[in-house]
Amino acid sequence: MNQFYNCFRTELLKTKRTLSFSGAIIIPTVITGVNFLTFVVYREDFAKAGANLWIALAGNIFSAFALLFLPMYVGMVGYSTNHIEHQADAWKNLFALPLKRSTIYLSKLCMVLLQVITCVTLLYALTLLSGQILGMLYPELGFQNYDSTVLILVTIVKFTLASLGTLAIQYVVSIYWSDFIKPMGAALIGLVVGILLAKWKFAFLVPYSLCPRVMEQFQKENLTIFNREVLSSVLWATGVFILGYWLILRKNVK
Amino acid sequence: MNEPVIETTNLSYHFGTHQVLHDLSISVPAGSIYGFLGHNGAGKTTTIKILLSLLQDFHGDALILNKDIRSRRMEILARIGSLVEAPGLYHHLTGWENLRIRSLLLSVVPEKIVDTLRTVGLMEVKNRLVRHYSHGMKQRLGIALALLSDPQILILDEPTNGLDPTGIKEIRELLTTLRSLGKTIFLSSHILSEVEKIITDVGIIHKGRLLYGGGVEGLKASGANLVEFDVLQPDLTRELLTMWGISFESNHHLINIPCKSNARIAELTDHFVTHGISVIGIRKLEKSLEHVYFELVEKEMQQT
Ligand SMILES: Nc1ncnc2c1ncn2[C@@H]1O[C@H](COP(=O)(O)OP(=O)(O)OP(=O)(O)O)[C@@H](O)[C@H]1O
Ligand SMILES: [Mg+2]
**DSSP state letter for B129:** B
Nearest to B255 by CA among B270, B277, B223, B288: B277
Query: B121: left (phi > 0), else alpha (psi -120 to 50), else beta?
Result: left
Residues of A with CB under 8 A from a CB of B: 2-3, 6-7, 9-10, 13-14, 16-18, 84-85, 87-100, 250, 252-254
Supply the angle between the helices A210-219 and A228-250 in degrees, to the nearest 10: 160
Kindly indicate the confidence band of residue B2, based on its pLDDT and cuts at 50, 70 and 90: low
- Burial of residue B19 (CB within 10 Å: 0-12, 13-18, 19+) is middle
Phi, psi of A173 (to 5 degrees): -60, -40
The pLDDT assigned to B88 comes to: 92
CA of B149 to the centre of ligand 1 (A): 28
Task: Tell me chain B's radius of gyration from C-alpha atoms.
Answer: 23
Measured CA to CA, the distance from residue A158 to residue A218 in angstroms comes to 10
The whole-model pTM stands at 0.87
What is the predicted pLDDT for the residue at A19?
83
CB atoms within 10 A of CB A123: 27
Q: What is the average pLDDT across B150-159?
A: 95
Identify the pLDDT of residue B1.
52
| DSSP secondary structure, A196-240, as one string | HHTTSTTGGG-GGGHHHHHHHHHHTT---SSSHHHHHHHHHHHHH
Mutate to test the interface with A, among B105, B132, B139, B143 (most CBs of A within 10 A): B105
Reduced 3-state DSSP string for B201-227: EEEEEECCEEEEEEEHHHHHHCCCEEE
Helix runs in B160-213, H state only: 165-180, 192-195
Does ligand 1 lie within 6 Å of residue B207's CB atom? no
Domain spans of chain A, in order of start: 2-250
d(CA A205, CA A18): 35
A60 CB neighbour count, 10 Å cutoff: 18
Whether ligand 1 lies within 6 angstroms of the CB of B43 is answered as yes
* CA–CA separation, A212 and A218 (whole Å): 10
The reported pLDDT for the residue numbered B223 is 63
With H, G, I as helix, E, B as strand and everything else as coil, classify residue B192.
helix
Q: Is the confidence metric ipTM above 0.95 for this complex?
A: no
Task: Determine how many CB atoms are found less than 10 A away from the CB of residue B266.
Answer: 12
Distance to chain A for B241, nearest Cα, Å: 50
pLDDT in tens, B99-130: 999 999 999 999 999 999 999 999 999 999 99
Q: Which of A37-51, B150-164, B227-241 has the lowest mean pLDDT?
A: A37-51
Classify the C-alpha dihedral B162-B165-B170-B171 as positive or negative: positive
Q: Model confidence over A203-225: pLDDT tens digits?
A: 888 888 888 888 888 888 888 88
* Of B81 and A206, more confident: B81
Are B60 and B26 within 8 A, CB to CB? no
Task: State the burial class of residue B132 (Cβ atoms within 10 Å of its Cβ: 0-12, 13-18, 19+).
Answer: exposed
pLDDT, one tens digit for every residue, chain A (254 residues): 788 999 999 999 999 888 888 889 999 999 999 999 998 998 888 888 778 889 999 999 999 999 889 999 998 999 999 999 999 999 999 999 999 999 999 999 999 999 999 999 999 999 999 999 999 998 888 888 888 889 999 999 999 999 999 999 999 999 988 888 888 888 888 888 888 888 888 888 888 888 888 888 888 888 888 889 899 999 999 999 999 999 999 999 98
Look at residue B288 in the predicted model and tell me its pLDDT.
67
Distance B166 CA to ligand 2 centre (A): 23
CA of B201 to the centre of ligand 1 (A): 23
pLDDT over 70 (residue B47):
yes
A91 alpha carbon – ligand 2 mean position (Å): 16
Which residue from B175, B196, B174 is spatially nearest to B291, judged by alpha carbons? B196
Confidence of residue B131 (pLDDT cuts 50, 70, 90): very high
Residue contact A6–B90, C-beta within 8 A: no
CB–CB contact B93 A13 (8 Å): yes
Whole-angstrom distance, CA of residue B33 vs CA of residue B179: 7
Instruction: Collect all residues of chain A within an 8 Å Cβ-Cβ radius of residue B15.
Output: 254
For residue A149, how many C-alpha atoms fall within 13 Å in the half-sphere facing its CB?
A: 7
Of B21, B44, B156, B211, which is best to mutate to test ligand 1, by the most ligand atoms within 8 angstroms of its C-beta? Answer: B44
pLDDT, greater one: B177 or B219: B177
